[in-house]
Each structure stands twice: as C-alpha cells, then as structure tokens.
Structure 1
Amino acid sequence: MMCGRFVQYSLLEVICKFFNIDVVTCNIKPSYNIAPTHKVLSVIRHNGNRLGKLHWGLVPSWAKDPSGASSLINARIETLKEKPSFCNAFKKRRCLIIADGFYEWKRENHQKQPWYFTTPSGNPFAFAGLWETWKGSNGSNYPSCTVITTPSMESIMKIHNRMPFILTQDAIAPWLDPDIQDGKQIETILRDGQVRKLTGYPVSKFVNSVANNEARCIEQL
C-alpha cells in the first residue's frame, strides 16, 4: 500500500488562512493516524473554497455500492486519464486533501520500520486528490476521495518507491478550478506544481496500529 496513513493536526484558523478557505462545513480535531475509509479534511471549489470531509477511498458514481472504497485510496499519476474510476474526476472533480505529514514503512531485516515525512517549513500542505459523490437508491450520498501518487523523489526512494503528490502553493488554485478541464493543461499543473523537498525520520512502531492516535506517533526515535 502506498500512502496508506497520514497526519493532520493544524488548527482550523491556520488551515483557513493557508488555503484561502471561504466556507467551512465541518469541525476538525487533530488526527495522528488517519487510515483508509476515515473521513479526511479536504477542499473543493464550489462557490469558493469549501473545507469539509470526504471518505478516504474513492467510490465512482457508477459503482454498485461503497464496499470497494478501500481499494481506491490512491490513484497513480501515470494512469489518471485512462482509468475509468478516475478519468472523469481528473477533469471535473479535483480536490485538496489537507495534511501535516505522512507515513511510509521501510523493510529492514524482515521487519517494517515506520518513517514520518513532512515539509521543512512545518506548514500544512495539500495532497492532490480526486473526489466523487456516490448516490444510493435510498437517496443517501457518499462523498469520497483518493490521493494521487507519484514516483518518489530521491530522498524517499530508499523508504518507498512511491509517495503522495504534494501541491505547491502556486498550483493549488488551478488544481481546484473546475473550469480547467483540458487534459494537457491539467498535466501541466502537475508537472510544474509538485513540492520537491521533504524531511523525514523514523518513528515508533506505535503508529502501526490504527487504534493509536496520539502525538507520540510522530515523535522521532
């Protein structure tokens, strides 16, 4: 699994300022061990930048039910335009998934050592994501999202060969813009809009259990 756990602990006022939020539709609290199917803090563009929650694990609108959500937590950047699950959202329903850091596991001596990665600035950042709303026959809605992944930069390659795509500040506005639907233009946003510098360190295996959701998850060994 790639990008299967991450962290979000920044205060609401910090997030609103950093991502130019116009409308807030949810309450937030720190989470140090976000896992697939959890509700994640996200931003979509609809009458301004709207901060809300989406289920992590994309459910296409044509799916029979949401049961397959956990299999679509990630979307490979190389196949966004071709895969039926992602191609429509790639053009029309792009989102931000707000994070302060993420985990990867390095295989060492037949064991897996967790590492925590974040930006040197310490500011919150945004994974590039796609979102959908699945509608049930009873009228219920299931809003969901997936995190776009890309080949790892050199500093992370020794831990894992893939990583979440983190948008630069300049790329956020065009990425959210639903009027930009040309595939080549969207590809240009991704080509030029990736954060290229991260810092990381090993953390305790305490984080291995999703039940453990405390600040000690990100404490450096």
Structure 2
Amino acid sequence: METDTLNYLAEKILNDVRNKSSFSNSMLDDMNSFPLVDYLREQVIDSDVEVIISLIKSEDINLCYLGLNLVNRVLHLELIKKYLITFWNNTDDYERRYFLMWPLLNNSQLTEKMHKEIFEFVTDNWEKWKLDYTKFAGGSANLVSFSEKRFYDKKFPNSKKWIYILGLKAIGNKTDIHVALSKFKLDNSNEMQQKVLSILKSS
C-alpha cells in the first residue's frame, strides 16, 4: 500500500476513534499491525490523551491494544508515564502486558528494574511472545528486516534496542540467527544488549 494511501487511512481512522466509532475485530487487527499502526501514531496529538487512556481502560482487549499502540506520541506526558507503569503493576494478563511493554520501553527514562521485569516477562512467556512478535513483524519472512528497521529507528530510545535483538530468537535456526546478528551494531557497554546476545549465542 502506498504511503499517501496509508496516511489518508490513518487520518480517517483516528478521526473515527476520536468520535468513538465502532470497529470490527478484523479492522482493529489491521489497525494494531505494521505498517498501518505506525501511520496512526503519526496522527496522534497531545489532546488525544484522554481518548487514548479511555481505550487502554477498555474491557475490549482489541481497543486496549489500540490505545497502547497509539500512546507513543504522548509518552512525554508525565501522566501517561505514570499511568502505564501503574497499569503494568496492576495486571498479570499476558495479552495486555504484551502490548503494554512496547510503550513502556519507549520511555528513555524507564528504570533498569522495569527493563529486567519486561525481559523476564518475555522469556517466561517465550512460546506465546515469539508468535505475537512474528505476527507484528508481518510474518517470519520479515523478522530480520522488521527487527533491523526498528533497531536503527531514531524515534526509539537506545535503551529499547535489546528487545529487537531478542526478537531474532524467534527465527529459530541457530545459523540464521547468527547471520542476522551481523546486521546489528551492538553496544558492548549496554547490559541488556549483552544479556540478550549471550542468550542468542547459546540458542
């Protein structure tokens, strides 16, 4: 799909979200997937914060996902930073935590303790997590290119990069994982990146 088309769709969809329109599960699935989700995020403005929080609070898990996917553009607001951490601490639900971890990791000031909690969440739920990550990447054929694009995307903090390295483990084949790793310039001084690297080397 062309960029202009995606921008047009994203603008229309977000206006519908603001107006509390209803969406089918299949539509929400597309809205929560790459690449449309990235275009939706670009349309978000600070005044959308209440709409986003209401989505996150929704009993409908797909609307909750949408809220968590859209929250990136308002992460600079202290209200949102605190709310997301509180939400993480108050839920044990795998599905909600899966979507919640991404905006949490977009906070460059996220504590080392929280990074380790998220790491443990991923490794403890690896079989489920790798399927969700692969789906979000657009399928197994896109795992390396998706992870590489996100790893080098300057919109995301350096502290988040470890999760995209860990995502390479979903490739499965040890040789292919090691070939993929050659595309990533790792930080030898970053504890989380080195921790993930040791896991991949032992895969």
* TM-score, normalising length: structure 1: 0.23
Higher RCO structure, 1 or 2 (CA under 8 Å, sep 6+): 1
Task: Please identify which structure carries the higher strand content.
Answer: 1
* TM-score, normalising length: structure 2: 0.24
Task: Please identify which structure carries the higher helix content.
Answer: 2
